[in-house]
Amino acid sequence: MNSCKTLFCASLSSFPFVPLPNPNSTLPFVSVRAISSLSVLHPNPCIGTARRTVHGAAAISLESFPETSPKDLTLKEILTTNRKEAYNMMRMERRCTLSDGEGDRRGSWFPYEDRFRCGDVHLSSREVLEAVSPYMMEERFDRFRRVVENRSFSVCLVVEGLSDLGNICAAFRSADALGIQSVHVVACDSSKRYKNNRHVSMGAEKWLDIELWDTPKECFQVLRSRGYRIATTHLGMDTVSIYDMDWSCPTAIVVGNEGSGISEEALELSDLHCSIPMNGMVDSFNVSVAAGILMHHAVSDRTTRLGSHGDLSEGEKEILMAEFSLRHSRSSLSIASEFAKRRHQHHSSSF
């Protein structure tokens, strides 16, 4: 790796360049000036390739786009902030409930509108991608495309009353890995002094849609309005095995507190109680393990019944691609805003 870095530095030694001001940026662009089209960097094992070939006198850089957007929040910060701040992590405009008649179609809930607000100007998802994608590495963009292909809102995870942030982080990491986009936290104790467990979540909170609720009633009411049935994990006489459930039906999986489990209020308000069959001497899993098993089985059952877990339409995939692109780096919002400003000025001058 060191020899590869040396080779890269030597190949640019004759050109003045300025590195990105943020060394932690996930956009490894270098501002290279006065290079010809023949001098464009070629791919090698150590260095990624940009999505746009550079021709002429100057390469495009991100230096002209200040990082004015809020910094990425850790999961600890998300859970101890107010609900509005949590919503601000989601970039495209959102809706709250299903439209009239939409609930008759299975798996129809999708939270985003095809609209991103930049002041008084709106950009469509296609325009957002046109603005932001040239500043992303091709490998990253392709990764977004593969992830979106397997994403779904038809299964969501609800964690109620968990006190260990590590368990929440682990559950969210599993949700992201399995293609479950929507997660909810009910009555999290915001006064608890959590340790930062970002290494447990591996940054999954950046890519998930996280919603915060004060009570199970409030959460379940909204989820039902979106077409979900509520399945709480509970061991009792009326419990259904997760292996006997049809997971092609939009379902909210609810897991409860590490010690006391699901609250009585949540049990009473849920549509059904489900459990993972146990064959050992103990009668419960760790809550994050249970959440992972539940989500994995839901995805497997949906794949068997439907052919795949991912069920977004082509238009919804494009919107979620735009959403991920806007979350990609702190410069993305500035880039999109500058694009919208130029588009608006162009349209104004045309009249």
What CATH code is carried by the domain that includes residue 248?
3.40.1280.10
Same domain, 205 and 273: yes
Q: Does residue 347 fall inside a structural domain?
A: no
* pLDDT at 65 > cutoff 90: no
Same domain, 266 and 288: yes
Whose CA is closest to 332, among 151, 89, 94, 142?
Answer: 89
Same domain, 191 and 87: yes
Same domain, 92 and 195: yes
Q: How is residue 123 written in tokens?
A: 């950009």
Q: Does residue 326 fall inside a structural domain?
A: no
Q: Does residue 323 fall inside a structural domain?
A: no
Q: Does residue 321 fall inside a structural domain?
A: no
Per-residue pLDDT at 7 = 40
Residue linked to tokens 């039906």: 249
For a pLDDT cut of 70, what percent of the chain falls above it? Answer: 65
Q: How many helices (H) and strands (E) does the chain have?
A: 12, 11
Q: Does residue 341 fall inside a structural domain?
A: no
Q: What range does the domain containing 53 cover?
A: 1-64
> DSSP assignment, residue 99?
P
Per-residue pLDDT at 118 = 84
Per-residue pLDDT at 43 = 36
Same domain, 146 and 217: yes
* More confident site: 67 or 262: 262
* pLDDT at 193 > cutoff 60: no
* pLDDT at 310 > cutoff 70: yes
Q: Does residue 324 fall inside a structural domain?
A: no
Same domain, 27 and 59: yes
Mean local confidence (pLDDT), 13-40: 36
What's the total number of domains in the chain? 2
Same domain, 247 and 160: yes
* Structure confidence by residue, pLDDT tens digits, 48-62: 444 543 333 333 344
Question: Lowest mean pLDDT: which of 93-102, 200-209, 305-314?
Answer: 93-102
Same domain, 209 and 103: yes
Considering 15-24, 75-84, 102-111, 329-338, the range whose residues carry the highest mean pLDDT is 329-338
User: Torsion angle of alpha carbons 279, 282, 283, 284, nearest 10°?
Assistant: -110
Same domain, 33 and 165: no
